[in-house]
Structure formats: structure tokens, C-alpha cells
């Protein structure tokens, strides 16, 4: 009796195993896992008095204190910060309008189609200054957010500021920047200006649309904005944008910061004012271009020192814990702090109107330090522009 029961159990187990194998054969294979990039090592803290650093005017230890709004040179702030009062809505201050529209890549010629990658690139064994990256074509929609000050007089040519990495979707809005502009304009610290916040095309760095737009060393992205974005702003909102490069500014953080300088450098006929935070003045350009083999790192090691001074006014800032070798490249050109130090030195040597703020206890993007210095930086950027002669 026990033997018969044992046989029955064995037959049942075999049947289950056979059924399981049939189902598993019909089942879809598990989706392949995307390769996991190793975690980045936290960036080291770079001392303000390192051999490569400029000599700073020290304002550290005084939370909330920024350099004078009309000062040039190199300044040290932190390690504690206070949010600027201009970031708060003030009762009685006229508020500008914030409106949005979308641009589809298929409706334009430049940057159509877009690009994206699925896997981060590998270092080119024949050229350690660049990566081998496989990309695919994409269509994308870009949100354009437009701030129009309450003081704008219809029909007049207004100064304006282009900002990178604007809100990505309709309904999202950078109210913080609008509030800062409301307050600075009302206090007559800057002229009434229009702000055009442009979302990037997606992704980041080499092989993605954002990297192609922001890190490419050419005037192509400035041309894209001039021909694809600005006419739509004027048409949609019945405003007139100045053609005077003295009344045009570009602003951005990280690769948006390098994009801001790239636009003005290659098209000084369009832009004279540049504001950057954590500027990516490192070797991020892709694909490789033998004319600018070091990408934006070339600004401070070749382009600026070897070129006659251009009519640019430049604000730069970086944190002492900013990015350091954040990817597989080890080309000696991926230290954001070192890049900004070198930028400050070469700008000074060439006689540029610049201000450099080094922020203690601040990482990439500057964190709380940006909340303190951004209104100051915008005021400094426009300090020599007439306010009373504008509408």
C-alpha cells in the first residue's frame, strides 16, 4: 500500500514538472535589464586657496552678503546662505504675465530630428578626448515659457533674457524667476525685460539632444533660437524684442551655462550678456570636432586667451563641491571647479567685465547659494544698461 502511494506521488510530481516546462517554454523571456551605471563618487571639496584658484575677496562667514552689484573680480561667499528677499512676492509690486507654448521638433529644420542614447558611451581608444556613443533619432516637443513684465509698453522693443533648461511641460512654470524679475524691475535695478525660458530637447550630455544643443561649440543653437523661437514669441504674445545685442542676455546652469557662453561667444552680434551657475566649461562636446578638440574646456585654454576681447559681460559661479570626473572619461578636463577658476583667470587677463563667485559648502547647481546670489547676479548682469531709457 505504501509503495503504491509512493508511485502515485512520483507520477504526480513528474506531471507537474512537465506541465511547468510547457508553460515556461511558452512564457515570454524576461526583459533584459538595462546596464546599471556605477554610482558616482561624491566630488571632493576643493579649497578656495588651492594653487590654481584666483585670489578671492573674502565675504565668507557673512550669510546673505553678496559682492557689490557694480564690482568686478573674484569673490568668496558661504558656507551659510540666506534666501534673497527678492525671491518673495511683495505686496504692491506689479506682477508680470507668464505664458507658454510648445514647439515640436518636426515643425522646424534645425535640430530635427533629435537624438537620444540608450547606453552611456565608451572612451574612443583612438582619441581619449571623446566617446563612442550609439544614438537613435527621436521627435520631441519643447516648452517655451515667456515672462512679460507688467511695465512692458506694447510696440516697444524690449530687452530680454534667454534662459536654458526652462520648464519641461505646459503647466509647469518657473515662478521663482518671474518673482525675482518683478521685484528687481519695480525697484529699478534692472530694465523691464522679457524672459524666455526654453526647455531642452531631452536627456543629458553626450548622445542626447540636450548635450547636442548645449555643449556643441558653434553658433547653431543661437541660430535655432533666433529663427525658431523668438519669432514665435513675438507672434504669439504681440511683443517686440530688441535687436541690440546690448539688450540681450543668456543664462543657464551646468551645460545650460556653457550654452549661454557659447551663444554669446559665437554670436556676439546677438548677445553681449552671459550669466552662468556651475558652468560646464569642460570637455562635454560630442561628436568630436577637431576645430575645438577640448569642447568648452577650450574656452580658457585656447579660445579666450588667443582671441581679441569680445564685447561680453560675464557672470560665473561655482561651488567648492561641484562636479569632478562624473563619467568614464579621465581626460584631465572634467573638473568643474578647476574649469571655472581658469575661466576667471583668463577673463581677468583679457580685461573682460566679469564677476566670479566661489561658493563654500555648495555642490553642482549651487543649492542654497543660488537662492542667495541669483537676484544679485541678474542685477550685476544688467548694471551698465540704462533703466530710465526703457519703457
CA distance 361 to 345: 22
Q: For residues 256 and 368, give the distance between their C-alpha atoms in angstroms, rounded to a whole number.
A: 19
User: How far apart are alpha carbons 165 and 167 in whole angstroms?
Assistant: 7
- Where does residue 247 rank: exposed (0-12), middle (13-18), buried (19+ CB within 10 A)? buried
The answer to whether 203 and 117 are in contact (CB under 8 A) is yes
For residue 295, tell me if it sits in a domain.
yes
**In the Cβ-directed half-sphere of 347, how many Cα atoms lie within 13 Å?**
24
Q: Which residue has the cell 563612442?
A: 132
3-state class (DSSP) for residue 58: strand
- Alpha-carbon distance of 289 to 297, in angstroms, equals 13
How far, in Å, CA of 372 to CA of 152, rounded? 27
By residue range, what is the domain housing residue 208? Answer: 57-112+140-381
The CATH number of residue 259's host domain is 3.40.50.1820
The answer to whether position 135 is within a domain reads no
Residue that is written with C-alpha cell 556653457 in the block: 258
pLDDT of residue 9: 40
All 3 cell numbers of residue 181? 524679475
Asked whether residue 322 is domain-assigned, the answer is yes
105 Cβ contact partners less than 8 Å away, ≥ 6 residues apart:
111, 112, 113, 114, 138, 139, 140, 141, 142, 201
Domain contains 279: yes
Write down how long the chain is. 391
**Which DSSP state fits 340?**
H
pLDDT of residue 115: 81
Determine whether 168 is exposed, middle or buried from the number of CB atoms within 10 Å of its CB (0-12, 13-18, 19+): middle
Grid coordinates in use for 259?
550654452
Q: Per-residue pLDDT tens for 35-50? A: 455 566 789 999 999 9
Residue 294 maps to a domain? yes
pLDDT of the residue at 32: 46
Burial class (CB in 10 A: 0-12, 13-18, 19+), 83: middle
Whether 147 is in a domain gets the answer yes
In a domain, 390, yes or no: no
The count of domains in the chain is 1
Cβ burial, residue 381 (10 Å; 0-12/13-18/19+): buried
- Grid cell at residue 318: 561655482
327 Cα distance to chain centroid = 17
Block means of pLDDT (10 residues each) for the chain, length 391 residues? 41 40 41 54 92 96 96 98 97 96 91 84 84 83 96 96 93 87 98 97 84 94 97 97 98 97 98 98 92 96 97 98 83 93 98 98 97 98 82 42
Whether the Cβ atoms of residue 356 and residue 75 lie closer than 8 Å to each other: yes
Question: Do 261 and 314 touch, CB atoms closer than 8 A?
Answer: yes
The 10 Å Cβ neighbour count of residue 159 is: 22
Read off the pLDDT of residues 94-135 as tens digits, 9 standing for 90 and up. 999 999 999 999 988 898 888 888 888 888 888 888 887 887
Beta bridge partners of 248: 160
Q: Does residue 355 fall inside a structural domain?
A: yes
Amino acid at each position: 500500500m505504501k509503495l503504491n502511494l509512493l508511485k502515485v506521488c512520483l507520477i504526480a510530481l513528474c506531471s507537474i514538472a512537465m506541465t511547468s516546462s510547457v508553460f515556461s517554454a511558452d512564457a515570454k523571456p524576461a526583459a533584459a535589464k538595462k546596464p546599471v551605471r556605477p554610482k558616482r563618487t561624491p566630488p571632493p571639496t576643493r579649497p578656495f586657496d588651492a594653487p590654481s584658484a584666483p585670489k578671492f575677496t573674502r565675504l565668507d562667514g557673512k550669510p546673505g552678503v553678496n559682492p557689490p552689484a557694480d564690482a568686478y573680480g573674484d569673490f568668496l561667499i558661504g558656507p551659510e546662505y540666506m534666501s534673497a528677499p527678492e525671491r518673495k512676492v511683495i505686496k504692491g509690486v506689479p506682477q508680470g504675465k507668464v505664458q507658454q507654448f510648445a514647439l515640436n521638433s518636426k515643425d522646424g529644420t534645425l535640430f530635427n530630428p533629435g537624438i537620444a542614447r540608450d547606453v552611456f558611451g565608451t572612451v574612443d581608444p583612438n582619441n581619449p578626448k571623446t566617446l563612442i556613443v550609439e544614438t537613435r533619432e527621436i521627435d520631441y516637443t519643447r516648452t517655451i515659457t515667456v515672462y512679460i513684465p507688467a511695465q512692458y509698453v506694447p510696440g516697444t522693443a524690449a530687452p530680454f533674457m534667454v534662459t536654458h533648461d526652462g520648464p519641461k511641460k505646459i503647466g509647469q512654470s518657473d515662478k521663482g524667476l518671474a518673482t525675482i524679475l518683478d521685484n528687481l524691475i519695480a525697484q529699478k535695478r534692472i530694465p523691464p525685460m522679457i524672459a524666455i525660458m526654453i526647455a531642452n530637447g531631452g536627456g543629458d550630455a553626450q548622445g542626447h539632444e540636450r548635450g547636442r544643443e548645449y555643449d556643441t561649440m558653434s553658433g547653431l543653437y543661437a541660430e535655432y533660437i533666433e529663427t525658431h523661437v523668438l519669432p514665435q514669441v513675438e507672434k504669439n504674445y504681440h511683443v517686440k524684442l530688441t535687436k541690440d545685442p546690448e539688450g540681450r542676455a543668456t543664462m543657464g546652469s551646468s551645460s545650460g551655462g556653457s550654452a549661454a557662453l557659447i551663444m554669446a561667444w559665437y554670436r556676439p552680434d546677438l548677445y553681449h550678456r552671459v550669466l552662468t551657475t556651475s558652468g560646464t566649461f569642460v570637455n562635454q562636446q560630442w561628436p568630436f570636432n577637431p576645430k575645438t578638440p577640448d569642447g568648452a574646456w577650450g574656452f580658457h585654454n585656447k579660445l579666450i586667451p588667443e582671441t581679441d576681447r569680445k564685447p561680453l559681460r560675464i557672470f560665473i559661479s561655482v561651488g567648492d563641491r561641484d562636479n569632478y570626473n562624473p563619467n568614464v572619461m579621465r581626460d584631465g578636463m572634467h573638473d568643474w571647479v578647476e574649469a571655472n577658476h581658469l575661466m576667471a583667470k583668463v577673463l581677468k587677463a583679457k580685461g573682460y567685465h566679469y564677476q566670479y563667485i566661489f561658493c563654500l559648502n555648495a555642490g553642482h547647481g549651487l543649492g542654497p547659494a543660488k537662492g542667495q546670489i541669483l537676484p544679485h547676479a541678474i542685477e550685476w548682469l544688467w548694471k551698465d544698461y540704462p533703466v530710465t531709457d526703457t519703457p
